[in-house]
Each structure stands twice: as C-alpha cells, then as structure tokens.
Structure 1
Amino acid sequence: MAAVSLNGGLVTLIEHIGVAMEDTSNVTLALADASAFEAFKQELKASFSVAVEETFGAVEASLIPSDADIDNSLTAPDAVVHHILLDGVKVGGAIVTIDEATQHNALDLFYLLPSTHGRGVGYRAWQAIEQAYPQTRVWMTHTPYFEKRNIHFYVNKCGFKIVSFYNRYYPLPDDEERGSKAHKLEFFGFEKVMR
C-alpha cells in the first residue's frame, strides 16, 4: 500500500516499506506566547517519549524532561519560544536562548511530531532558526547519548560538532543548581560555529 500526496505539482510517494522521500512543504516559524506553553510541554514530552520507547522498550519518566525542566527553559531569561509550522500547521517547537551581547546562542529544546520524522522537516526547521538569528556566532545544544537520531541530525545534517560529553563526572552546566535530574544522565554537547 502506498500513499501519494501532491505538493505544488510534485508527487511524493511513500512506499509501504517506510522509506519516504523528502517533503517539499513550506516550513516556517511562529512565535509562541505563554498561553501555548502547556500544549508545547505536552507535545514535547510525547515526541521525546517516542525515542525513549524505541531505545528502551518502555517510556521511563526519568529520561523525559520534567515539567519543571521544560518550564525553566520556557521562562529563562532571553528565551524565545517558536512553533514550527508545516504549510501553516503546527508540527513542532523550539526554544532558543539568544545572548545579544556574545551571540553565543543555544537551542535548548527542539521537537517535531513523530508524523513528520524522516521527511526533511527538522532540517528545514533548523535552517529557519538559523535564518531568524543571522547574527549568531555560535549555536550550542545537547542531546542524550542514546538519541542516535538526534546525534545524526545535529552532526551529519546540521553541521554541529560534538564538543562535550556530560556525565556524572562532568554534569551539564547549571543543572544541579536548578534541581534537574538531567545531571544523572549522559549527554553530548554540540556547537556550530557560524562566523
């Protein structure tokens, strides 16, 4: 069984074997306001749960950002919350922290609904973020060590370099002060030098 959709005259064929060609739809960003934060949190947690379940066979709550961790990112000084839109429909979100003085900016949280995975939407969303902040000198982010899809995305698709391995001996900066459980997990830290 195959699904066919027409996008601007282009035919995208998705075979039953699960191989998808790149989606040619339009990906844009929209600023999110505080009234959207609760839905943002729930969608982010559901999206992160997919990788945890694929890796460990069950969703383990300690491997998914807590409400408190997400709230800290949503309300951090200099945080900007974006919806990711695919042809005007919300399919994900991103929280970036913009340091106007140094332009060493951070991608704090980034998610896409699982239905968009493997279609090039994430890469185009990342390009939209880069274009929205052209003064950025360095982008920083991190992802759990077990998130192979994310590691591939950041390194092979987006051009980030792995610069740190966070673990119990070298915890994520500021996590212990925030009371986060993240310092108990292992993460890779990434940077992308823009200029």
Structure 2
Amino acid sequence: MSEIKLLPLEESDREQFIKDNQEAFNYGALEEFGPRDDHFEEDGEIISHETISHAIDEGTAYRIIHAGKPVGGAVIKTEYDHGDLELLFVSPAVHSKGIGYATWCAIEEMHPEITVWETVTPYFEKRNIHFYVNRCGFHIVAYYNEHHCDPNDTEGELHDMFAFEKILPATPESIQEQIRRVTYYENIMDKARNGSAEMLRQLSDYYGSSAWKRDFAADEAGLLPKSLKRGVLSEDGIHDLLESFGV
C-alpha cells in the first residue's frame, strides 16, 4: 500500500485544491465521453467551484500527501456514528498507485466511531464505482435520477448519481457516540412535551431516520448501558407524543 499523509487543508491552498479536484473529475468525464459539455455543471467543469467550496465549508478537508507532494484531497463530514465522504480525488498523474485506497484506509482509521459511511459518484465514473465497491467495500444502495430523487437533495444536484453505503461493526467508540445521540434526543423529547414546533420537528426527523433504527437495534442487543435514560427509544412513547401534537 502506498504511504500517504492526510494534512488539514490550509486556506492558502483552497483554490488550488478546488482546481485539482476539478481536474480529477474532468479526467473521468473526458475518458468516458470525450470533449463534450453536456455532463458538466459549469463551462468546462464536471463539478463546480461552488459545489466544492460548499463541501469544504460544511465538512473537514484534507490534502493527500505522497512522496512529499500534494496528489489529491478528501472532504468528509461526520456526526455521531455516521460519516459522509463528500469528496475524494487523486491526481490522474498518480492513478493506479494505491493512493486512493491508502487514503480511504487512513480515513477509516481516523474515525473508529463511524459505523456507517455514505458517498455518491456520477454514473459514468467507472473508476470510482470500481474503487468504492471492489476496493473499499461499499455497496450501491440507490441510483438517483429524475424518476428517483434523493429526498435530501433540495438543489437537484444528484441526478444520475449512484449512492454508496458501507456498514462497519460496532466499536466502543461508536457506542459512545450512540449514547451521546440518545442523550441529546432524550433532552429534545423532554422539551418537545411543551409543544415546541422546532423540538417536535427534530424529534420526528430522528424517529424516521436510520440513526434511530441503529440506536434502537443497539439497545435491543444490550449494547447501551442499563442506566441510560432511553424513553426516546420507546416506539409507543415517541409515537404517542408526536401524534398528540399532530406531527
């Protein structure tokens, strides 16, 4: 496996990071389609400056360093035991050297608390699809298109994209994150009893999420401490509260 380092992105390198990301994504599109514009977000770019910049602002960005030089980058976003791989790119000049896989292994090692990773990639990125499925152990869980949109995609940016998910075994670190989340929503549930619209919305979103299902399953499996206050994991309790306020 190639030796790499992940260094936090410096603000002074932000524009070059974006340029390098665009170059890497353009390479895949040009390999598949040739010099055509119809798959590009903006003139000559498969991924826009705005899209990359937003990912950097919302997540944590790293430069991939190999042999003392920047050869790519990654942006991740984590919350409790869930992680989003927002971007991962390697310079076309160093493809097929194991740098992408080494980077992914480093990311997993950095975050032992994450048991669910998600990412997306365009349908035509055969190299990426191979990488995520055959190298990194992701599974394709959805194909977003005009007939099946991502419910969280309010901007309409995820058409013709494959969604990937990787599930990892529970760890002591992930259980601690689940305890933190259950405690947080237990407090939300207490506040929601006063009829706060915002608290009820948060509670409803949690109850309908895969995170609640993971927390419920962990509790059923006896992984959460007996002393933990867990009314939020009671199906009847949370359902009755939401129903009482017409949510």
2:101 corresponds, among 98, 103, 123, to 123
User: What aligned pairs does 1:65-144 form with structure 2 within 5 A after superposition?
Assistant: 65-76=47-58, 79-99=59-79, 101=80, 103-144=81-122
Instruction: Write out per-residue CA displacement over residues 46-104 of structure 1, whole angstroms, 9 at most, x where no aligned residue.
Output: 1111111011111523371111111110111xx110111112211000000011x3x21
Q: What corresponds to 1:159 in structure 2?
A: 137
Where do 4+ consecutive residues of structure 1 move more than 3 Å?
172-175
The number of equivalent residue pairs is 164
1:37: Cα distance to partner?
1.4
Q: What corresponds to 1:46 in structure 2?
A: 23
Q: Normalising to structure 2: TM-score of the pair? A: 0.63
> Where does structure 2 lack aligned partners over 5 or more consecutive residues?
170-247
How far apart, in 2, do the equivalents of 1:29 and 1:58 lie? 32
Which amino acid in the other structure matches residue 98 of structure 1? T
How far apart, in 2, do the equivalents of 1:144 and 1:27 lie? 26
* DSSP-derived class of the 1:159 partner: coil
| Alpha carbons 2:2, 2:98 under 8 Å: kept | no
What percent identity do the matched residue pairs reach? 37
Q: Which moved more, 1:150-159 or 1:58-67?
A: 58-67
Q: 1:150 to 1:91 in 2, by over 3 A?
A: same
User: What aligned pairs does 1:52-63 form with structure 2 within 5 A after superposition?
Assistant: 52-60=29-37, 61-62=40-41
Which amino acid in the other structure matches residue 147 of structure 2? Y
Greater helix content: 2
| Alpha carbons 1:25, 1:87 under 8 Å: kept | no
Which amino acid in the other structure matches residue 149 of structure 2? P
> Where does structure 1 lack aligned partners over 5 or more consecutive residues?
1-23
Q: What corresponds to 2:8 in structure 1?
A: 31
1:148 corresponds, among 126, 142, 150, to 126
Which amino acid in the other structure matches residue 47 of structure 2? P
How far apart, in 1, do the equivalents of 2:23 and 2:167 lie? 31
Which amino acid in the other structure matches residue 134 of structure 2? N
Greater strand content: 1
* DSSP-derived class of the 1:48 partner: helix
How far apart, in 2, do the equivalents of 1:48 and 1:31 lie? 21
Which amino acid in the other structure matches residue 16 of structure 2? A
Which amino acid in the other structure matches residue 193 of structure 1? I
How far apart, in 1, do the equivalents of 2:88 and 2:36 lie? 19
* DSSP-derived class of the 2:104 partner: helix
Q: Which moved more, 1:112-121 or 1:63-72?
A: 63-72
RMSD: 1.6
Instruction: Write out per-residue CA displacement over residues 118-141 of structure 1, whole angstroms, 9 at most, x where no aligned residue.
Output: 111111111111111111111100
Q: Which moved more, 1:83-92 or 1:41-50?
A: 83-92
Larger radius of gyration: 2
